[in-house]
Amino acid sequence: MAYNRFLALERRLAKSLQTKNQYVQFMEEYENLGHMTRVDIDSISKPRYFIPHHCIVRPESRTTKLRVVFDASAKSSTGMSLNDLMYTGPTVQSELFTILLRFRLPRFVFTTDVEKMYRQMLIQPDERKFQLIIWREDSSLPIKHYQLNTITHGTRSAPYLAPKCLQKIAKENALQYPLGAQFLQDNFYVDDGIGGSDSLTTTMEIQQQLIHTLKQRGLNLRKWCANHSQLLQNVSMEEQEVDIDFDNDINQSIKTLGLTWMPKMDRFCVKVRLGSCSLATKRSVSADLARLFDPLGILAPIVVMAKMFIQDLWQLKLTWDEALPADLNERWTTFRNDLQKLDNMQVSRHVFEGYIPAKIQIHVFSDASEKAYGAAIYIRSELDEGRVQVRLLCAKSRVAPLKLQTIPRLELCTSVLGTQLTTRVKSDLKLDDVATYFWTDSQIVLA
């Protein structure tokens, strides 16, 4: 299986010299760094496993244009894959929603990334025979066999093992580098770290402690970005995510955990990039809606309309490539055109707009209709000179069940959704003592 897939890969690479050169360069680096080692296959005892591999090309990336992907879910001749026989492991890092939520509170923030994180963690030598690959630089050369020595992205346990190593490093450095260790513990999602504090001095200290904590274990931080120039003054241009000129380039943006962030303006920016669509089908609709990445619910009023459309579409039981009926096609075309108006919409990253509040309150609004229900959480902050500022923190929406429900029951559902979301937010942001108000127009809920 692995051999046949490798031959197919060679035929694909033969069609593009540039892609082939990048692939060869990637594998040469893999070997030169000691992340894989050539082996004599006859000396490798059974059981063993060969992982097929292919590439993903990302021309827009500043660091890695081509990435080799290892498919440990490919079935071997036994009918089982490596991933079929591996444990997944528990979740050890905070969820994406939690980390992005925390990112909205500090005044000064930075983002960074652990270079080649998975490949910095060695696995036990006697287990490397389950990470064998087939490779050669050119089809004119004989087939070579290699074993991968480090955690391999594509194996089921990798999303647990690599972050667990970061957690272990944080625990062991909690006394020597308390700020850096705490950041490593709470503000990393896989290999991406985002966060900061209200003090520029403290944020710079977090940054330096984080660098020292990881550097002593051979881990390098790169792709640095920040909303203040002093946080980048000791970072080389090669280690920065983008070339940000804090004097001129206001609209420069980066992707951080799926969101587009404009560090100079310190705002999130909505990017709508829909491809051309000559025929609306269930497949094309699903592909377009998958581009609406909105983990914090900033676009909840729009996303819930998309959810309602999907619900109606699924009831028709169409095939994936069957054209939509005329009425749904018209409805989708109108919605799709309106989506373009969201492009470049901006929302402040810092929920307090650059100020340090003297006092804050949480206000939760919930409401329901026959089709959908939702809840939104706002932060009310009291600033200097008695000024008051109210900003949306997050929201969540759901479509009503297909089985007809009464409005009072849906109002109760949305109030439950609001309280659950509030409990989650207050726990994630450690705001347990903050005054909280729930708002509803339903007398049933109030009673």
**pLDDT tens, position by position, 328-347:** 999 999 998 898 888 889 99
Position 310 scores a pLDDT of 92
In a domain, 113, yes or no: no
Where does a domain end: 106, 134, 159? 159
Residue 59's pLDDT is 72
Look at residue 60 in the predicted model and tell me its pLDDT: 66
Q: What percent of the chain has pLDDT over 70?
A: 97
Residues 60-77 have a mean pLDDT of 84
* Residue 276 located in a structural domain: no
Mean pLDDT of 182-207: 96
Backbone angles phi, psi at 193, to 5 degrees: -115, 130
List, for residues 383-392, the tens digit of each pLDDT value: 888 899 999 9
- Examine residue 196 and state whether it is found in any structural domain, yes or no: yes
Q: What is the number of other CB atoms lying within 10 angstroms of the CB of residue 21? A: 12
Q: Are residues 385 and 373 in the same domain?
A: yes
**288 lies in some domain:** yes
Mean pLDDT of 273-301: 87
Q: Which of 54-63, 229-238, 301-310, 317-326 has the lowest mean pLDDT?
A: 54-63
Sign of CA dihedral 188, 194, 197, 199: positive
Q: Does residue 103 lie in a domain region?
A: no
Render pLDDT for 379-416 as a digit per residue (tens, 0 to 9). Answer: 999 988 889 999 999 999 999 999 989 999 999 999 99
Of the pLDDT bands very low, low, confident and very high (cuts 50, 70, 90), residue 251 is: confident
Q: Is 109 part of a structural domain of the chain?
A: no
Cα 417 to Cα 396: distance, rounded to the nearest angstrom: 8
Structure tokens at 323: 């054209």
Q: What is the CATH number of the domain that holds 370?
A: 3.10.20.370
What's the CA gap between 320 and 59, in Å, rounded?
29
Parent domain of 319? 282-346
Residues 26, 141 within the same domain:
yes
- Alpha-carbon gap, residue 195 to 170, rounded angstroms: 16
**Cα(165)–Cα(217) distance, rounded to whole angstroms?**
10
> Do 34 and 134 reside in the same domain of the chain?
yes
pLDDT interval class at 289 (50, 70, 90): confident
pLDDT score at 22: 92
User: In sequence order, which residues have a C-beta less than 8 Å from that of residue 97 and are 6 or more positions away?
Assistant: 295, 296, 394, 424, 428
**How many Å apart are CA 195 and CA 412, to the nearest integer?**
35
Domain match, 48 and 196 both? no
146 and 16 inside one domain: yes
Is this structure's pTM higher than 0.85? yes
On whether both 18 and 53 belong to a single domain, the answer is: yes
Same domain, 303 and 330: yes
In three-state form (DSSP H/G/I as H, E/B as E, the rest C), the secondary structure along the chain is CHHHHHHHHHHHHCCCHHHHHHHHHHHHHHHHCCCEEECCHHHCCCCCCECCEEEEECCCCCCCCEEEEECCCCCCCCCCCCHHHCCCCCCCCCCHHHHHHHHCCCCEEEEEEECCCHHHCECCHHHHHHCEEEECCCCCCCCEEEEECECCECECCHHHHHHHHHHHHHHHCCCCCHHHHHHHHHCEECCEEEEEECCHHHHHHHHHHHHHHHHCCCCCEEEEEECCHHHHCCCCHHHECCCCCCCCCCCCCEEECCEEEECCCCEEECCCCCCCCCCCEHHHHHHHHHCCCCCCCCCHHHHHHHHHHHHHHHHCCCCCCCECCHHHHHHHHHHHHHHHHHCCCEEECCCCCCCCCCEEEEEEEEEECCCEEEEEEEEEEECHHHCEEEEEEEEEEEECCCCCCCHHHHHHHHHHHHHHHHHHHHHHCCCCCCCEEEECCCHHHHC
Q: What is the pLDDT of residue 438?
A: 97
Is residue 11 in a domain? yes
- State yes or no: pLDDT of 247 exceeds 80: no
- Contact, 19 vs 13, CB < 8 A? yes
Give the residue from 247, 269, 291 where a domain finishes: 269
Q: Are residues 73 and 174 in the same domain?
A: no
Q: What is the pLDDT of residue 63?
A: 60
Lowest-confidence region among 26-35, 141-150, 268-277, 282-291 = 268-277
| 275 in a structural domain | no
> Domain tally for the chain?
4
Whether the per-residue pLDDT at 275 is higher than 80: the answer is: no
> Same structural domain for residues 146 and 220?
no
Q: Please indicate, yes or no, whether residues 299 and 393 belong to a single structural domain of this protein.
A: no
Same domain, 228 and 368: no
Same domain, 202 and 322: no
Q: Residue 33's domain is classified under what CATH number? A: 3.10.10.10
Q: Which domain-ending residue is among 139, 159, 179?
A: 159
Over residues 261-284, the mean pLDDT reads: 87
Contact 299, 394 (CB under 8 A): no
Q: Please compute the mean of the pLDDT values over residues 110-119 and round it to a whole number.
A: 94
Average pLDDT over residues 277-287: 86
Q: Which of 211, 245, 197 is nearest to 113 (CA)?
A: 211
Structure tokens belonging to residue 18:
């540039």
